[in-house]
Amino acid sequence: MRDCGMARTKAQQRADTTTALLKQARKLFAARGYGDVGLTEIAEAAGVTKGALYHYFGSKQALFRAVVETIQQELGEKVARAADAADDPWDQFVAGCVEFLRAGSRPRVRRILLIDAPAVLGWNDWRAMDEAHSARHLREALASLIEAEILPPQPIEPITRLLSGAMNEAALWLADSRADLSEAVAALTDLLEGLRKS
């Protein structure tokens, strides 16, 4: 019994440590960018040793990758919640795309996910991660709309790539203080409506 309790305690300690490291790393990477944040600073902010950081993540890049994955998962959950709030399949699709644009354009998300991630992880790794999260969901939604005859039959892959690229670029553009979210949402909605007329 004692061993089980110790194992649970170690598992909880591990979870607490990794959670603290991810939280502090995310906060620092979002505020100053990957290049301006050191591992010692992250470890101190999390209240652990630098050795603990290396033990759980192995490197700064691995820690950053874990932060990116966390943000991608959260973004996917926000998009799903926004889509689920609508009843009609088309409205669900539009709501999900608009929420991706809103959430992705937030400075702390944008900095990590759209600016630093491609540079730090490399284009191919970043694309693979995006493919496993956002692009996959977008592709599945488009396929469902075509199957339901809400969209006309058409190749899914080019549309997925074009929409994904457009939304990522718009999220980056929205970081500009002169950019207007309502204008971007209106333009995205018009773009999506155009798919139904093709």
Q: What is the pLDDT of residues 16-68, one digit of tens each?
A: 999 999 999 999 999 999 999 999 999 999 999 999 999 999 999 999 999 99
Tell me the torsion sign for CA atoms 38, 43, 46, 52: positive
Query: What pLDDT sits at residue 90?
Result: 96
Q: What is the pLDDT of residues 56-83, one digit of tens each?
A: 999 999 999 999 999 999 998 999 999 9
The pTM score is: 0.87
* CA 187 – CA 62 distance, rounded (Å): 37
The structural domains of the chain, with segments of one domain joined by +, span: 9-58, 65-196
Band (pLDDT 50/70/90 cuts) for residue 134 is confident
Question: For the residues 110-131, what does the mean pLDDT come to?
Answer: 91
- Provide, rounded to the nearest whole percent, the portion of the chain with pLDDT above 90: 70
Band (pLDDT 50/70/90 cuts) for residue 196 is confident
List, as one string, the DSSP characters of the chain. -HHHHHHHHHHHHHHHHHHHHHHHHHHHHHHH-GGG--HHHHHHHHTS-HHHHHHHHSSHHHHHHHHHHHHHHHHHHHHHHHHHT-SSHHHHHHHHHHHHHHHHTSHHHHIIIIIIHHHHH-HHHHHHHHIIIIIHHHHHHHHHHHHTTSS-S--HHHHHHHHHHHHHHHHHHTTSTT--HHHHHHHHHHHHHHHHT-
* CA 33 – CA 16 distance, rounded (Å): 24
Query: What pLDDT sits at residue 3?
Result: 59
Query: What pLDDT sits at residue 4?
Result: 58
More reliable by pLDDT, 10 or 167 = 167
HSE at residue 11, side-chain half, CA atoms within 13 A, is: 6
Q: What is the pLDDT of residues 91-109, one digit of tens each?
A: 999 999 999 999 988 888 9
* CA 92 – CA 98 distance, rounded (Å): 10
Question: For the residues 126-139, what does the mean pLDDT come to?
Answer: 88
Architecture of the domain defined by 65-196: Orthogonal Bundle (1.10)
* CA 107 – CA 41 distance, rounded (Å): 21
Q: Name the CATH code of domain 9-58 (choices 3.40.630.30, 1.20.810.10, 1.10.1040.10, 1.10.10.60).
A: 1.10.10.60
Cα 5 from chain centroid? 36
Query: What pLDDT sits at residue 8?
Result: 59
